[in-house]
């Protein structure tokens, strides 16, 4: 578990710094509330930086962004970096996406008769599917049962594309039929993609633990950087929750960060600062609310829920 005494000390430090900042500030009475809020912001940022400094000095800090992991060791400015072998993942992903591409390429433009542009697209897409079938079929380094499953799925999607082109129209019935035919193979490809990541992540963490046995792995912390719609059951988060025996509802050891633009892991300053603030907030929350999880939700949430429920 995290050192909660340290987190509580960080929370108390905010009050101390705030008093000092307020004492040094001057202004008219009209500025008093602004000065008070500025003092809070200054104190909090200083406390967050100190929390990060404490973490970096004492425990392994891991930053994960999809296929990469950075290990920040205490006393080391530059992290150890790991990038997974993407071959199996990319192949499984590319195959699994084919029915989704067919749906997106047609249904988004409306059901019914296909215009000339959609018909041309179907011709091109069938060719892409055929080329992929040939490429995968010739990959001797991929197990035969995987090649058979993937080429079979590509052939199924290609036949649906051909039917749609010949009919010149698309309706929900044929889209549903396609989904029913390929659903099992899609799931198998997703399983392959998941296994490719999880097994490599587990292997790399085992290597780091063996290489740096003196590190406080039992107190390691992680920030997992995710993107659009990945918060629920995110694979990388599930892995690190398992690794550190963390509960995603408490985020004691593993913090999830959503972003539009993933940062370079060699210098993940924003991600590390977010991690420190989440850890700091636990101490603050315990002191102020007698519940270390309160600040992991909107502090206005309870009041908002009660007010909205009272409306007629």
Mean pLDDT by 10 residues, the chain (312 residues): 52 50 52 89 94 94 93 93 94 95 89 92 96 95 94 96 94 93 95 94 97 96 80 84 90 84 75 89 89 84 89 88
Kindly state whether residue 174 falls inside one of the protein's structural domains.
yes
* 163 and 100 together in one domain: yes
Kindly state whether residue 272 falls inside one of the protein's structural domains.
yes
pLDDT digits (tens, 9 = 90+) for 163-194: 999 999 999 999 999 999 999 999 999 999 99
Kindly state whether residue 208 falls inside one of the protein's structural domains.
no
Kindly state whether residue 167 falls inside one of the protein's structural domains.
yes
- Strand pairing partners for 169? 113
Buried b / exposed e along 252-291 (16+ C-beta atoms within 10 A):
bbbbbbeeeeebebeebeebbbbbbbbbbbbbbbbbeeee
Domain closes at, from 155, 190, 225: 190
* 160 and 98 together in one domain: yes
Place of tokens 């998941």: 194
Q: Which domain holds residue 51?
A: 4-74+215-310
Which pLDDT score, from 0 to 100, does residue 148 have?
96
Kindly state whether residue 292 falls inside one of the protein's structural domains.
yes
* 173 and 152 together in one domain: yes
**Helix H or strand E segment including 229:** none
Average model confidence (pLDDT) across the chain: 87
Kindly state whether residue 91 falls inside one of the protein's structural domains.
yes
Kindly state whether residue 207 falls inside one of the protein's structural domains.
no
The whole model's pTM is what? 0.80
* 235 and 262 together in one domain: yes
- Strand pairing partners for 255? 223
In the chain, the number of structural domains is: 2
Domain closes at, from 151, 174, 190: 190
Tokens of 211: 């290489």
């Amino acid at each position: 578990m995290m050192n909660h005494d340290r987190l509580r000390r960080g929370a108390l430090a905010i009050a101390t710094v705030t008093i000092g900042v307020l004492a040094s500030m001057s202004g008219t009475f009209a500025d008093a509330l602004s000065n008070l809020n500025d003092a809070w912001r200054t104190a909090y940022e200083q406390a967050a930086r100190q929390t990060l400094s404490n973490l970096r000095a004492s425990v392994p800090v891991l930053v994960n962004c999809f296929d990469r992991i950075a290990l920040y060791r205490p006393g080391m400015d530059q992290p150890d970096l790991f990038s997974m072998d993407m071959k199996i993942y990319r192949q499984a992903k590319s195959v699994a996406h084919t029915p989704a591409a067919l749906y997106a390429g047609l249904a988004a433009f409306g059901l019914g008769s296909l215009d000339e542009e959609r018909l041309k697209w179907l011709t091109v897409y069938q060719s892409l599917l055929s080329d992929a079938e040939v490429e995968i079929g010739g990959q001797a380094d991929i197990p035969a049962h995987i090649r058979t499953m993937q080429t079979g799925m590509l052939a199924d999607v290609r036949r649906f594309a051909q039917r749609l082109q010949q009919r010149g129209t698309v309706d929900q019935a044929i889209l549903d039929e396609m989904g029913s035919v390929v659903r099992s193979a899609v799931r198998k490809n997703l399983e392959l993609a998941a296994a490719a990541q999880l097994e490599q992540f587990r292997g790399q963490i085992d290597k780091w633990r063996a290489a740096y046995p003196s590190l406080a792995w039992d107190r390691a912390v992680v920030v997992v950087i995710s993107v659009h719609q990945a918060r629920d059951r995110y694979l990388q988060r599930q892995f690190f929750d398992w690794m550190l025996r963390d509960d995603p509802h408490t985020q004691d050891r593993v913090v999830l960060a959503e972003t539009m633009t993933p940062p370079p892991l060699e210098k993940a300053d924003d991600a590390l600062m977010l991690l420190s603030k989440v850890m700091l907030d636990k101490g603050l929350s315990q002191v102020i609310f007698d519940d270390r999880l309160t600040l992991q939700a909107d502090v206005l949430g309870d009041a908002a829920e009660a007010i909205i429920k009272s409306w007629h």
